[in-house]
Structure 1
Amino acid sequence: MKQLVLAVMALGMVLTGAAHGSEKLDNPGGTGGIESLRGATQLEETRPADPMKRFPRDQGVIDSDYVYQPPLIPHTVRNYEVSLNANKCLACHSWKNANEMGATKISVTHYQSPREGQVLSDVSPSRYFCLQCHVPQADAKPLVENNFKRVDSLN
């Protein structure tokens, strides 16, 4: 009985393999009719990259959409280094350089320790990585439909 079950299983595997084998001959390297976020592009093909997003120049301060929203960055940050050893943002936005560079000064809250509220002589380590909260505002169409409305107090 055990040998009969094994023989039936083996026959099923052979037949299934044959069916899949003929599929492969008909459509070698295809997607199998599945469409992904890449579209219906074949896996072996590389489609051209999307154009780079534009960052409108001199757009000034961008209005907030909700209370306590971190200000948006009105310029590109491409090739800005923000690491443990360097922070390109502070070259313009630190209290020391902002007036000379014509940039907005970072908030005084960035100089306070988060737990004790103690005022520090330099930017708090918890506020040093600017791009965790602040993002550049690109001139790009929304990826999904959006009917967000700002709070009444900001209109």
Structure 2
Amino acid sequence: MKKSLQNILLSATAALVLTACNLGTGQNSAVEDTQIGLRNVELKDESNVKNPVITWKGDLPGSNEVYERSYENAPPLIPHSLEGLLPITIESNSCLTCHTPDTAKDMGTIPAPQSHYMYLSTGKKTVELNMERFNCVQCHVPQADAEPLVKNNFKADFRDGEGNRSSNLIDVLNQGIK
């Protein structure tokens, strides 16, 4: 009983101190919704919000420069137009027309990696694409000429000489786990 009374008194004292601190400053400590995010607009009404104009890079598959990955094992950017390839559904995935391992070998395209043909949670390999990963554009996005919204000094450090162009995720997935 005594311990419970002490906790109540301690909580009440803390509440009084915090209230006094807020009253003493004379300032409202609430953050306005126009101060949240990078757009600086009222979040309750987005009717006048204009998205920035983005020039997507890419024409026909195989005819464009391929950008390096942003960091080791980052999903590569899509170096071609997605016109006519969307939407991607579990029943219809146009990406697989060119990017299954067998087809990619014959066509000279980049094959979906082995990590897409296994259940990462169990390590169980599959013959077909893991259907948990059917929605390619959930991770892969088209290349674009877009100015960064904020300054970024990040510099990727690839452990492997090919890390900027290929993935070794399947090899390092459980690295450091015992």
CA apart distance, 1:101 = 3.1
State the partner residue of 1:70: 75
Partners of 2:49 and 2:70 lie apart in 1 by: 36
Structure 2 spans left out of the alignment, 5+ residues: 1-33, 165-178
Q: 1:44-83 counterparts in 2 under 5 A? A: 51=53, 53-57=55-59, 58-79=63-84, 80-83=86-89
Contact map agreement 1:56 1:139 (CA 8 A) in 2 = no
Quick check: 1:129 aligned with 2:135? Answer: yes
TM-score by length of 2: 0.52
Contact map agreement 2:54 2:145 (CA 8 A) in 1 = no
Larger Rg: 1
Partners of 2:74 and 2:92 lie apart in 1 by: 25
Partners of 1:136 and 1:108 lie apart in 2 by: 22
Q: How many residue pairs are counted as aligned between the two chains? A: 117
SS at structure 2 position matched to 1:96: helix
State the partner residue of 1:99: 105
CA apart distance, 1:52 = 5.1
Q: Percent identical across equivalent pairs?
A: 33
- Give every structure 1 segment of 4 or more consecutive aligned residues whose post-TM-superposition deviation is greater than 6 Å: 46-49
TM-score by length of 1: 0.59
| Root mean square deviation of aligned Cα | 3.2
Q: 1:23-42 counterparts in 2 under 5 A? A: 37=39
Q: 1:116-155 counterparts in 2 under 5 A? A: 116-151=122-157, 153=159
